[in-house]
Each structure stands twice: as structure tokens, then as C-alpha cells.
Copies of this chain bind each other. A is one copy, B any other.
Amino acid sequence: MNLPQKIAGVNKNSIPRLVQYKYVLKKVLASGSDRVYSNELADAIGITAAQVRKDFSLFGIMGNKRGGYSVSDLLGIIQRILGSQPGQDVIIAGMGHLGIALSNYKGFEKEGICIRAGFDIDPVKCGVQGNIPVYPFSECEGYISNRNIKVGILAVPADAAQLVLDVMVRGGVEGVLNFAPVHLMAQRSCVIHDVNLGVELEFLLYFVNALNNRGGKA
């Protein structure tokens, strides 16, 4: 991952935990309770209660040993920190199978994210794919710049990824979700977040192997 270690006082690694807290808190609220303790959140997420309290204190969220935290207050603060405003426009570079799959992905809409356009060097892939217009890659930098696009998805082969990233950054992109299994360097201030599907599968394989090694399956 190629992210600044700290930004606006928030350690980059607390963000995935904030997203996890958000999901747990929504469940607690749905169950009818508005109180939660740091050890309950810690157990649900599998970290120490001290880590939960440290994360929260960084954001100025204070609990109370007797009463714990207010779930709705916590949710409001976390959602304000995560701040994914509706209507965030995103483009995709690389309209191969992965790019098309991402342009059709239903999970983005829930987060208020709108995939506006795709770009590809292959003229055959240009036109309309799924729900979005696809333009020649030569138009990518101008599109980003003219429409003030801040976030792009990189879905090109590993050997083209650095070149495509450089073009996107020149256009003005400030954040890239990178699916290419390669380490990239941004020349200007651009946050790169790698999605490493190999790591996700490795994580799953560990559990399956551990289940088998434990023996005693029915």
C-alpha cells in the first residue's frame, strides 16, 4: 500500500477498523440498543479494547467507564470522518473483463459512488460497455482534468499499470484503486490503494487448511 502514514491526524491503518466499527455499530443499533462498550467492539472485531479506545481518542471520541459509548453518536462521528459523500464520480482505466465487471458492480452504488466512464487503448472496447461510455485512452487525461475527477480505478495488466497511473495523475486524479498485482509509485500527491486478490485468497486458504488440520470433521 502506498498511502501517507498519517493524514489529517488519522493513522491510515485505523480506517479499515473505522469501516468495521461502522458495520458493528449499525448491527447494535438495529438490535435496539444505543450503548456499547469498548470491549464489546473489540470482541466483535478481534482486537484489544485498548486499541478501540486509542482509535476513538484520536478522533476526540470519549467514552465513560460506566456508560460506555452512545452508538448513534459514534456512528455520526465515524460517518463524518469517513465522509463518502453521495455522487462521487469515478473513472475506470482498462475495460477488459475486470473493468467491465467493476463498471457493473452493484456494491458501489450503495456507497454513493458513480462510475462515469471507462478508457481503453483497444478501439474495439470503446463505445458503450454495460452502463458506461468507454473512450480511447488518449482522451483519459483530458476527461479527468475537464470533469475534475478525483478518483480512478486501475484495471489494466501489470506491465501497463505504471504508465496508465502516470497519465491519470497528470490529469489530476488524487486517489487510485489498483487491481494490478504490482507495486506502483505516484509522481505527485496521489493515494494508491492496492486490492490484492491473492492476499484475500491466501487468507481464506489459511482457514480451510486450519479446519482440516484440526481434524474431527463430521
A138 within 8 Å of B (CB atoms): no
The stretch from A30-38, A65-73, A201-209 touching chain B is A201-209
**Size of chain A's interface in residues, with CB distance under 8 A?**
76
Q: Binary interface profile of A, 161-189, with partner B (CB < 8 Å = 1, else 0)?
A: 00000000000001111000100000001
Known contacts A8-B214, A211-B191; is A206 also within 8 Å of B46 by CB? Answer: no
Known pairs A84-B209, A189-B211; A202 contacts B111 (CB<8 A): yes
Contact of A201 among B8, B101, B108 (CB under 8 A): B108
The 3 closest A-B pairs by CB, nearest first: A13-B46, A107-B181, A98-B101
Which residues of chain A have a CB within 8 Å of any CB of chain B?
3-5, 7-8, 10-16, 19, 45-48, 50-51, 54, 81-85, 88, 90, 96-98, 100-102, 104-108, 110-111, 113, 150-151, 153, 157-158, 174-177, 181, 189, 191, 193, 195-214, 217-218
